[in-house]
Amino acid sequence: MKRVLFPAVVMAALLPAATGAQSPAPVVVQDGAVQNNMSALDGAPAPKADPQQSRIAQEPGLAGELLAAIAAERQALKDRTEALNLRESEINFASAALAEQERQLTALKEEIHQLLGLAETRHSEDITRLVQMYRAMKPAEAAAILSNADLEVTVLVIAAMPERDSGPILARMNMTRAQAVSKIILERSRLPGDQRLLNLKIN
């Protein structure tokens, strides 16, 4: 076994000899103890080896496996990120398409509303002209025509006329027709907006 002497210890042993004092016995230590003692003299603890690093150093194949696992994890994370980005793009596209459909639907509703308003206006104008035409006739002539006209048309015309004009016309219509028209006008006045002719039979 190799033996070494600390230089500082040797100097400490030589100094008493120079002054006539008895020299102490030399200190003999092993190589490992020298390193530990030197670290202790420097005031710093001896470094400890990392078990994981020691294992990787002892097993070269383990480092490759760890690198492969890390690479696989990164690739999986990248794929997941790309999938999420694609999904986000699809959602944004669908949202934009839905917004466009809503815009078109709103425009279509507005167009339909305008057309309905125009149709209602024209319908009212047509009824007004029709009423004026029947008012210009003699009551007997108007009654003869309305008695054979569509029941809904007859009701619309009679209901739109002032009472002083519709009364003489109803008086000259056949009784069944006059009763049916009167009943419908009465029911419509009780239920505004309900213009359906239900369970009405004319013999």
Q: How many CA atoms lie within 13 A of 74 on its CB side?
A: 6
Domain assignment present for 121? no
Is residue 3 assigned to a domain? yes
Report pLDDT digits (tens) over 20-68.
445 444 444 444 444 444 444 455 555 555 555 555 555 666 777 888 8
Task: Kindly list the averaged pLDDT for each block of 10 residues, start to end, along the chain of length 203.
Answer: 46 48 47 46 54 57 81 92 93 93 94 92 88 93 92 91 92 92 86 49 42
* Residue 32 lies inside a defined structural domain of this protein: yes
Per-residue model confidence (pLDDT) at position 59: 61
The DSSP-derived string for 15-44 is: HHHHTTPPPPPPP-B-HHHHHHHHHHHHT-
| Residue from 31, 44, 15, 45 nearest 6 by CA | 31
- At 124 the pLDDT is 86
Q: Is 71 contained in some domain? A: no
Task: Decide if 18 is inside a domain.
Answer: yes
Q: For residue 11, is it within any domain?
A: yes
Neighbour count for residue 53 (Cβ, 10 Å): 9
Residue 59 lies in a domain: no
For the chain, how many structural domains are there in total?
A: 2
Domain with 186, as residue range(s), is: 137-203
* The pLDDT value given to residue 188: 81
**What's the confidence (pLDDT) of residue 123?**
84
